[in-house]
Amino acid sequence: MNPILNISTYKFTPLADTAALRDELEARALALNLKGTILLAEEGINLFLAGPAPDVRAFVAQLQADARFADIAPKESWSASQPFRKMRVKVKGEIIRMNHPTIRPTEGRAPAVDAFTAKRWLDQGHDDEGRPVVTLDTRNTYEVDEGTFAGAIDWRLNKFTEFPDALQAHKSELADKTVISFCTGGIRCEKAAIYMRESGLPHVYQLEGGILKYFEETGGTHYEGGCFVFDERRALGADLSTVGIAEPSAQA
C-alpha cells in the first residue's frame, strides 16, 4: 500500500482572522511534517496536504475542532512518495480567483448534484424532468487536455477569470439545458454555478466534490482520461492512482 495520504478540500466560510489563522495552521502543519498548500481568504479556505496518514488525519481533526470547519470532508488519495516539495500557507484575496466580488458562496451556494445522480442523468441523457443534460468543464485548457467528461463543453479557458466572459458569449447555447458545472474538487464549479444562476440560467448545478469525488463514488463512468492535480503526480486515474508528474501549484 502506498504510504502517503494526499487530501484536498475547501470551505467557503467567512474568515476575519486570516493572518492569525495562517500562522496557526502553518505551525500545526510543520509540527506534523506535512507538505502542501493552504490558501486563506476572507471567503474561506482551500488546501492540499500530504504526509503519513496519522499526521494528515491529526491535522484534519484539529481543523474540524474549529466550528467554521467542522463539516470539512477531505477527498483522499494515496501515493508512493511525497508529491509536494514544501509547506506553504498563504493569505489571498480569493481562495479561487474569479474577479467578481459579487459572487459570494458564503452567502448561499448554488444547488449541487451528487456523483450518483450526475451519473444517472448522464446514463439516461436527461435529468428527472426530461431536460437534456450537459457537462461544463470550468478548468483551464491544460487540465481539460488531461481528461474530461465525454462530450463536455470546453471553452478553452487559460485561467478561471476568463469564465464570466466565456459564459456571456455562450449563454444562449445553455438556455434550454440542465448544466452540470464541474472541476477538480468543487471550488471553481461552485463559483461558476453561482455566476451562471445569477446570469439567468435556472437549471445549473455544481458537481458536489468535483471530479475526484465522482471518481471515488462512481469509478469514473462517462469520464475519459485522467484528472489533472496540482502536485508532482500530475494526474489521477479513475481509481485515484497516480498517472504522471507535474509541478505543484494550488487550485481545485
Annotated active-site residue in 183, 211, 235, 252: 183
- Cell output for 180: 452540470
Cα(134)–Cα(151) distance, integer angstroms: 8
User: Sign of the CA dihedral 186, 188, 194, 197?
Assistant: negative
User: Pseudo-torsion of CA 84, 88, 89, 90, nearest 10°?
Assistant: -110
Position 179, amino acid? V
Is residue 183 part of the annotated active site? The answer reads yes
> What three-state secondary structure class fits 37?
strand
C-alpha distances (whole Å) from 32 to each of 46, 51, 52, 195 are 19, 8, 9, 38
Catalytic residues, by residue number, are 183
